[in-house]
Amino acid sequence: MSAAGTPHPAMADLQLQLEQLLLASLDPAQVKPASEQLRTLLQQEQVEQRRLAYLLLAKQIVDGRQEEVRQLSAVLLRRKISKAMAVFDENQQKEFITSLVARFSQEPSASVRRAVVHLLASILRLATLQEAKRRELFSALSHMAMQNPSPGTDPQQLQQQVAAVSTFVAVAEACPDELVDYFDEFLTVFRHAFTCAAAGNELGTSALKGLRSLAEFAEEPDQQKKVCALVPNVMQIIAAAVQANEEDVATTGIQLIDDLLSNDNMAMKDGELLTVLDFLLKTVASRSDVDAGLRQQALSCIQWAAKQKPRVLCKSPTVVPAILDVLVAMGAEPDVQGGGPEDFEEDELTPHRIAAQCVDALAISLPSKYVFQPMLDRLTPFTQSTDILKKRAALVLLGIMSEGCEGVMRRKMKFFLPFVLESLRDQQPVIAASACICFGQFAEYLQPEIMLFQREALELLLLLLDNPSALVQQKACYALGVLFENMEAQDLEPVASEVVQRLVRTLHHTSCDKVREVCISAIGSAAAASGNGEEAPSNRPRAFDAFAPELFSLIGQIIKMPTGDVEGQNAGQAVCSPTTKARAIGVVGGLVQGTSEAAYAQELPGLMRLIMEQMIIDTSKDDDTGYAHDIRDEAFSCFSDVCIAMKDKFVVFLE
């Protein structure tokens, strides 16, 4: 583009200076001074000088010899676009915009094209842009976006079309209110992009992103219907992306469907909703070769429907059974494609965890008759299988269902509880650990009937503390903790000695921080349970009094431990995770509640000071705010428990 109507005498020098500054800005050693000089150049006092600088910067976008210079020029001009357009005359504005649009089909660099796209989008969003110019630019971009490429079409034409659609997307993503009037134009462009198979999924992906933004502005019923009418096109894009292993495209498509489902203004008809859910189930969730994160996204839409539209799901005779079929199959999949169950993992997304999440949502949200018996029918063959993965699925999913289906499960425990108790004796660590998870869920949700089996379960769980598998020890401690929370003091008292001895031994011997954390919790739950008789005087001897000195000492040692990387700790230096330290602080309150005043009186003042010190130390750590919150939350929980136990005598800690 030309710099001005008449040649500026110093134009060549300024052009060279600008190019040199842009190049210098790309050099880490020169970026700071070069950026300062560029800022000065673009902020000159005289309007004519500023206009010339902006025009020359625009010229670099079109004619710059280096890709990096063209990209940087576009970025800089986008930041100053309001000021630049204010000093350009009408002809210069028109020539500037025309040159940018022309650059679409000529620019070989994708990064430069993206920069130009966002520059054009910023122009379209300008409140000061004349409406006639805005419409003219939209018209030019629409013409490019609405092309019908065929196989063998000039690559530059496809490139131009993709860039034009991307500009509409960029405008929609930050759409100001005044552009809502262009809703139909945007929708037409995105609808056309869905149909252009010759351009591959690149156009479809851009259109998906744009439609997500456009849906937010669909306030009129007619607009909402038009957006929902594109759902079949969206499903086609997702299906093609899944088939081509284009996870990012499929992810964007499912995100759009999720947006439409959760948008109160976009209420789908029941039939449309069931069609979408069936598609997600069969095309994405049921495929074991699809990325776990993508499958979780698909199932999250089904979970939403279970929570928000339970009647719609239950009215269909086929939808819930089809979902359960997929979830049971997923529950028996290996954690790693082609492998077996993992030995010890907590955080990774695996098929059986995703299945458990969805079963949990269904059990809580749908009437139990649609979930429990159909699931039991599907899982019963798994309980008799020798396949480890199928047994794990049966145990985990039975346990998960107990929240939501507790009413019917309490009445029918004879059909599945023997399998769970027998699995606690299994020699396979994964089966024993899964049985612990299952029984822990039962102990929480199948009250009070499950307590008829507390003695048998307690013996089996305590034996598992000697299992060499850290996974089994961890899950056994979890189940014990839940069981203790629901035991009466008189039931725990006869076994208190064995319980404490085994838990303390586990705490001493384990090198796994995750085991240490849940073991501490189990000790706290047992202690609190032994003091469940709230009417008993604080000076009456308790079952845990004999173990108080050792337990308080152990907890104090853990609270004093330095925190660090428990996976990479050096031999000989004991460290614990921040979570374990916080849990140890919280357990102090349970120990106080479970012991008499004579047992805790000597140790408690020192522990309270130690806890206060930890709160001060960790609140000052700017690098781990989450950890400081954990410490504070557990400390306040501890103070509350101690206050309840000590009553008026707690005042000594307030001074």
Give buried/exposed letters for 554-576 (b at 16+ CB in 10 A, else e): bbbebbebebeebeeeeeeeebb
Q: Tell me the backbone φ, ψ of residue 322, rounded to 5 degrees.
A: -65, -40
What is the per-residue pLDDT for 528? 84
Find the range with the poorest average confidence among 16-20, 359-363, 398-402.
16-20
**CB of 104 within 8 A of CB of 165?**
no
* Four-point Cα dihedral 78, 82, 87, 93, nearest 10: 60
pLDDT of residue 655: 65
Using pLDDT thresholds of 50, 70 and 90, give the confidence band for residue 2: low
What's the average model confidence in pLDDT over 8-26?
75
Binned at pLDDT 50, 70 and 90, residue 432 comes out as very high
Query: What is the pLDDT at residue 535?
Result: 55
Residues 432-456 have a mean pLDDT of 95
Specify the higher pLDDT residue, 550 or 409.
Answer: 409
Give the pLDDT confidence of 209-264 residue by residue, as tens digits. Answer: 888 888 887 778 888 888 888 899 899 889 988 998 888 889 999 999 998 888 87
Please, are residues 299 and 354 in contact by the beta-carbon 8 Å criterion? Answer: yes
Cα of first residue to Cα of last residue in the chain, in angstroms, is: 78
pLDDT at 527: 86
Residue with token string 């307690």: 458
d(CA 538, CA 647): 10
Distance of alpha carbon 590 from the chain centroid:
33
> How confident is the model over 472-483, as a mean pLDDT?
95
State the pLDDT at residue 277.
96
**Residue 315: pLDDT above 50?**
yes
In a 13 Å sphere around the CA of 332, the CA atoms on its Cβ side amount to: 17
What's the CA dihedral at 334, 335, 341, 344 to 10 degrees?
A: 180
Angle 421-424-429 from CA coordinates, rounded to 5°: 155
- Please say if the pLDDT value at position 3 is more than 60: no
pLDDT for res 615 = 82
Task: Using pLDDT thresholds of 50, 70 and 90, give the confidence band for residue 345.
Answer: low
SS (H, E, C) 596-609: CHHHHCCCHHHHHH
Share of residues in the chain with pLDDT > 70 (%)? 89
Mean pLDDT for the stretch of residues 76-94: 90
CA distances to 161, 434, 465, 477, 514 from 519, in Å? 61, 17, 10, 5, 9
Residue 626 has pLDDT above 90, yes or no: no
Q: Does 319 score more than 90 pLDDT?
A: yes
Count Cβ atoms within 10 A of the Cβ of residue 369 and give its class: 0-12 exposed, 13-18 middle, 19 or more buried.
exposed
Q: Is the pLDDT of residue 371 over 50?
A: yes
pLDDT for the residue 4: 45
pLDDT value at residue 115? 92
Cα separations in angstroms, 222 against 183, 209, 227, 259: 11, 21, 9, 18
Can you say whether the dihedral through the CA atoms of 507, 513, 515, 516 is positive or negative? positive
Rounded Cα distance, 484 and 527, in Å: 9
Residue-by-residue DSSP string for 577-597 = -HHHHHHHHHHHHHHHHTS-H
pLDDT band at 5 (very low <50, low <70, confident <90, very high): very low
Give the mean pLDDT of the chain: 86
Q: What is this structure's pTM?
A: 0.82
Sign of the alpha-carbon torsion through 411, 415, 417, 420: negative
- Positive or negative CA dihedral for 640, 645, 646, 652? negative
What does the pLDDT read at residue 6?
46
**pLDDT (0 to 100) of residue 622:** 47
pLDDT band at 619 (very low <50, low <70, confident <90, very high): low
Considering only residues 214 and 379, tell me which one the structure prediction assigns the higher pLDDT: 379
What is the predicted pLDDT for the residue at 197? 57
Q: Please answer whether residues 371 and 363 qualify as being in contact, where contact means their C-beta atoms are separated by less than 8 angstroms.
A: yes
Is pLDDT larger for residue 346 or for residue 80? Answer: 80
Measure the CA–CA gap between 493 and 513, rounded to whole angstroms: 29
CB 524 within 8 A of CB 582: no
Is pLDDT of 592 > 60? yes
Most confident of 7-16, 299-308, 331-340, 592-601: 299-308
More confident residue, 44 or 340: 44
